[in-house]
Amino acid sequence: MSSTPMAFRAERAHAVYPERLDADESTWDAWARVAAARLWYRLRPLLFRSNRLVAAIDAQAADVARLDDQALQRELARGARTALTEPRAMVRAFAVVREAAQRRLGLRPFGTQLTGAAALFAGRLAEMPTGEGKTLTAALAACVAAAAGVPVHVVTVNDYLAQRDAASMGRLFGFFGLKTGAIVSGMSLEARRAAYACDITYCTNKELVFDYLKDRVAAGGRTSLAQHRLRALCRGRQHAGLLLRGLHFAIVDEADSVLIDEARTPLILAEQGSNRDDPAVFTRALALAAELEAGLHFELSPAQRVLQLTPAGRAVLAERSRGLGATWAVARNREQLVAQALRALHLFHRDQQYLVADGKVHIVDEYTGRVLPGRTWEQGLHQMIETKEGCALSVATRTQARITYQRFFRRYLHLAGMTGTAREVKGEILAVYGLDTVSLPPHKPCRRVFLPTLCCADEAGKWHRVAAQVTAVHAAGRPVLIGTRSVEASERLSAVLDAAGLAHRVLNARQDADEAAIVEQAGQPGAITVATNMAGRGTDIPLGPGVDELGGLHVILTEYHDTPRIDRQLLGRCARQGNRGSVQAVVALDDALFRTHGGALLRLLRRLYPHGQPPHWLLLGLRRQAQGGAERIHRRVRRDTLKQDRTLDASLAFAGNAI
């Protein structure tokens, strides 16, 4: 298993550079493959067979330690290519890289990291507990692959991490004469091209996908490199340089959030359009929408985030828009406009789904709590929200290319991923990406303490309880990290804490410039930090002096998320690498998750326990039901999106530009 090295067995697409053919698998094939893999997961011993690999590498350790630097470099340069196919050579290569890591970085990769690196090298998803040193794990695998001549993309979740990891691991790569590049937003095309030309490129998923889309547009869709050059030649100009060299090998950090949570949001490469929309149309649509009644004129399902006009609503609309001009005379037009206006009013809320800053509407990623710069909603929704918030209308853009993560990452010839939380979605990851998940044990036993969940009747009660908990822990001198689900919630909590006289810092999409600094400080004695759920993800929270003895960082979860994975990610902020730490959830029965997915059980609990705090097992049941329901809907939407994309591609195959 661990000894299966990298092999490019994928069928290559007809494209301008190497990438995998994104072939449609028949339903039965996919079903059989997933069923077989499920069986395999059952049969495979719980503990990944790490010991044998680690033992083999250890056996080489003494031998490798005797080599001098030049010999180490020669050893890798000679053996790396064989390591792609030969298990023994791979063991040797990892032993060499481990020795180099110790010499250059002062870090000696421990067993879990070596096993993880081997798993990545073999194209699997390594599930490692939070704080197990994923950066180094990725670097080991990247180093061997790059030494073998395979261009490697290490995909991180934000620019900061990309830069930091490229800088820190660059020393290891540099030791073997491998060049390291990092892509951050705002770089010029030239700089990007140079970075992608490096052996190992650290980048964020978003930048990577947009660069890929730019290449596709430049190449004019489905053309071979030869065709591309010939065309440029015939048109009498230099062929537009491509940014990437191909999709060879990607190591995706926080793979579950990239491959699953964000999988279906399309990334759209757009150019500025020429037409400016008439603001009056949107104003009118909002005005008309405001007059319609939920349930009577339109149906709203917050759980599925779906909104539809009813026949009654259409009739009312037809009547009220009589004489308003050509735009409103066509039924389809006015209904679409008003439906979007209704969505803007009822499904998109300020400081939850978006922020308003500098007179512009910024989309907030619901999973990471970060602003997604440069992204806009489609089909006039963005303009509608701008109108609703009184911002100037942005210019309508013209789509040039679009792709979703789930389609993009399937195109890698060799894909690997790392995450702390993949258990719940390993079936789906396997079905969609063909990625086998291996779970690695922590190398030090976990000392995280789980305190019983507190449940309140409503939100106000919840903030009160949170403040009380914070006061208690703070009094002991321990640092506290409080995770909230939305920007709005973080600010509300901040106000409550202010009122209680607790000094704290807030980390959310509004102020993520000094994110790293805030996170650095969050582990100091007595620090109180309020953060939207995944802010600071990927960075360690270093504990201040004496904090560990006091009990480590205390994390408070103030609202369950749509999936338990994200809860676990937040809880994983404390008690890393053998440190102490404690976690507690403080939730309310009127949390959004419970409201939308709680169903009959929630109504029952509300009646039986009007003041909150139902018995633990009932609360657990409610949580399971709500998160299960939410996850089911998300999974379904992801599957439908992929299917729709495929259907569309198949029917538009004649257009010859499948992007």
Partner 1 sequence: MICAMTPGLLSTHWYRVAGLRPRLRGHVRIHRHVYRGQVWYVVEDRVAGKYYRFNPASYRVICLLDGRRDMDTVWARLTEQLADDTPAQDEVVNLLGQLHTADLIQCDVNPDVAELFERRARQRRRQFMSRYLNPIALRFPLWDPDAFIGRLVRGLGCCGGGRVLFVWLAVVLPALLLVPPYWPDLTENFTEQLLAFDNVLLIAVVFPLVKALHELGHGIAVKARGGDVHEMGIMLLAFFPVPYVDASGASAFVKKADRMLVGAAGMLTELFIAALAFYLWVLLEPGFVRSLTYNVIVLASVTTVAFNANPLLRYDGYYVLLDGIEIPNLGTRSNQYWRHLADRYLFGIRTSEPPPATAGERRWFLGYAPLAFAYRMFVALFIALFVAEQYFFVGVVLALWGLAANLALPLYRGAAALLRDPRYALRAGRVRAVLGAAGAGVLLLLFVLPVPHHTHAEGVVWLPEQAILRAQESGFVEHVLVDPGQTLALGAAVLEAVNPTLAADIAVQAAKVEEVHVRRDAAWGVNPARASQLGEELRREQAALERLQDDARRLTLCAGAHGVLLLERAPDLPGRFLRKGDVVGYVVGEYLPLARVVVPQAEADQVRLATRAVDIKLPQDLGTTWPARLIRQVPKAARDLPSPVLGQGGGGEIIVDPRDQRLTRTLESLFEFELELPRTAAAGYIGSHVHVRFEHPAEPIGQRLWRSLRRLFMSRFHV
Q: Which of 446, 453, 425 is nearest to 437 (CA)?
A: 425
CA gap 575, 73 in Å, rounded: 37
The least distance separating partner 1 from the CB of residue 280, rounded to whole angstroms, comes to 10
Contact range with partner 1 by CB under 8 A, out of 85-93, 110-118, 324-332, 385-393: 324-332
Q: Does 304 bind partner 1 (CB under 8 A)?
A: yes
CA gap 473, 554 in Å, rounded: 8
Q: Interface residues for partner 1 in 167-226 (CB under 8 A)?
A: 222-223
Do 467 and 454 contact (CB within 8 A), yes or no? no
CA gap 574, 197 in Å, rounded: 38
Contact range with partner 1 by CB under 8 A, out of 194-202, 252-260, 414-422, 643-651: 643-651
Q: Interface residues for partner 1 in 252-271 (CB under 8 A)?
A: 266, 268
Q: Does 607 bind partner 1 (CB under 8 A)?
A: no
Q: Does 278 bind partner 1 (CB under 8 A)?
A: yes
The least distance separating partner 1 from the CB of residue 617, rounded to whole angstroms, comes to 25
Among 295, 311, 390, 445, binds partner 1 (CB under 8 A): 311
Q: At what angle do helices 159-175 and 87-105 cross, to 10 degrees?
A: 100
Q: Is 484 annotated as a binding residue?
A: no
Do 420 and 572 contact (CB within 8 A), yes or no? yes
CA angle at 574 for the pair 622 and 505, rounded to the nearest 5°: 95
Q: Measured on CA atoms in the order 28, 31, 35, 41, is the torsion positive or negative?
A: positive
Among 163, 168, 310, 625, binds partner 1 (CB under 8 A): 310
Among 4, 336, 394, 521, binds partner 1 (CB under 8 A): 336
Do 250 and 211 contact (CB within 8 A), yes or no? no
Among 102, 333, 352, 613, binds partner 1 (CB under 8 A): 333
Which two structure tokens, joined as six digits, stand for 345? 């009013």
Q: Interface residues for partner 1 in 366-405 (CB under 8 A)?
A: 378-381, 396, 398-402
Q: Measured on CA atoms in the order 376, 381, 386, 389, is the torsion positive or negative?
A: negative
Round to the nearest angstrom and report the end-to-end CA distance of the chain.
35
Q: Does 337 bind partner 1 (CB under 8 A)?
A: yes
Q: Does 625 bind partner 1 (CB under 8 A)?
A: no
Q: How many CB atoms lie within 10 A of CB 308?
A: 12
Among 52, 108, 624, 636, binds partner 1 (CB under 8 A): 636
CA gap 564, 576 in Å, rounded: 19
Contact range with partner 1 by CB under 8 A, out of 173-181, 461-469, 497-505, 650-658: 650-658
CA gap 125, 423 in Å, rounded: 11
Choose between 42 and 332: whose C-beta lies nearer to partner 1.
332
Among 330, 451, 499, 608, binds partner 1 (CB under 8 A): 330
Which two structure tokens, joined as six digits, stand for 266? 């399309």
Choose between 51 and 301: whose C-beta lies nearer to partner 1.
301
# of chain residues touching partner 1 (CB under 8 A): 55
Q: Is 625 annotated as a binding residue?
A: no
3-state helix, strand, coil in the chain (%, to 5): 50, 15, 35
Q: Does 12 bind partner 1 (CB under 8 A)?
A: no
Q: Is 132 annotated as a binding residue?
A: yes
Choose between 539 and 657: whose C-beta lies nearer to partner 1.
657
Q: Does 638 bind partner 1 (CB under 8 A)?
A: no
Q: Which of 355, 418, 540 is nearest to 117 (CA)?
A: 418
Q: Which of 500, 240, 204, 570 is nearest to 372 (CA)?
A: 204
Binding residues: 113, 131-135, 540
Binding residues for ATP: 113, 131-135, 540
Q: Which residues bind partner 1 (CB under 8 A)?
A: 14, 222-223, 266, 268, 275, 277-278, 281, 299, 301, 304, 306, 308-311, 325-327, 329-337, 340, 378-381, 396, 398-402, 633, 636-637, 640, 648, 650-659
